[in-house]
Homo-oligomer: A and B are copies of this chain.
Amino acid sequence: MINAANIAEMNDKFQSMQPRAILAEVFSVFPQAAVSFSGAEDVALVVMAKKLNPAVRVFTLDTGRLHPETYRFIEQVREQYSLEIEFLYPDTAAVQAFTREKGLYSFYRDGHEQCCGIRKTEPLRRKLAHVDAWITGQRRDQSPTRAQVPVAQVDSVFAAQGRSLLKFNPLANWSSQQVWEYIRMFELPYNALHDRGFTSIGCEPCTKAIGPNQHEREGRWWWEEATAKECGLHKINIDSLAD
């Protein structure tokens, strides 16, 4: 069993386990857990999940602003692994009102929060309202905001009122190096942007290639402060930093 009551205990136990074993245990309790796929190196998580759980439920937040390469990559994974992927879209009225008022690049002026809120957070919230557990590819080495990411946690940010929602980050303790060894060893497909200097990949206007010896997070929301670089999906990370 894994539940809100014993989550700290489970998290302790998971610290010494490999992603595959963690995933197996999570699926044994929550076979319908929703796996988030961003179209980047979290392909490692998605493929692992599919192998363990052929009926795995995968979703992608299609913000409408992803790179063409990312759309092609997600489709490639969908086809190659016969994966059913649910694409989640912004609310029509909300995104229309937002862009009519502020145009297509307001985030460069007043921060990414509003845009992420409409294009990612709200669709995710809609999705998670009907879910008991979700699984992400977050890692501690991705950014300062993720340095404390637990393997298992109660997700108080996205839980619908009166419901419990658990969040699992099986790759939390893996390094970027380990994820890429996995991708290369098992010859997983990967986003073509990774061969053009991109490490972290999000929406097209908010992602750029990084140079030699730069940290992957320097390629995201580079006009903002490092400690605020979360898109809302993982706002719980920011909240916990603020403690």
A residues apposed to B, CB below 8 Å: 41, 62, 64-65, 67-68, 71-72, 74-75, 78-79, 84-92, 95-96, 99-100, 103-105, 176-177, 180-181, 190, 194-199, 204-205, 209-214, 216
Contact = CB atoms under 8 A, between A and B. Distances in A.
A194 B17 CA distance: 37
A89 to B, nearest CB: 5
A37 to B, nearest CB: 13
B68 A87 contact: no
Contact of A197 (B92, B100, B197, B205): B197
A226 to B, nearest CB: 16
Contact of A62 (B62, B85, B99, B204): B99
A212 B87 contact: no
12 contacts: A67-B68, A78-B103, A84-B100, A85-B100, A86-B100, A87-B96, A89-B95, A92-B92, A180-B211, A180-B213, A195-B211, A196-B209
Contact of A75 (B74, B91, B104, B213): B104
Nearest to A216: B212
Give the 5 A-B CB pairs with smallest separation, nearest first: A197-B197, A64-B64, A87-B99, A180-B213, A199-B212
A205 B87 contact: no
Contacts of A75: 103-105
A64 B66 CA distance: 9
A68 to B, nearest CB: 5
B87 A104 contact: yes
A142 to B, nearest CB: 12
Contacts of A90: 89, 92
Contact of A89 (B68, B92, B210): B92
A103 B64 CA distance: 14
A65 B68 CA distance: 8
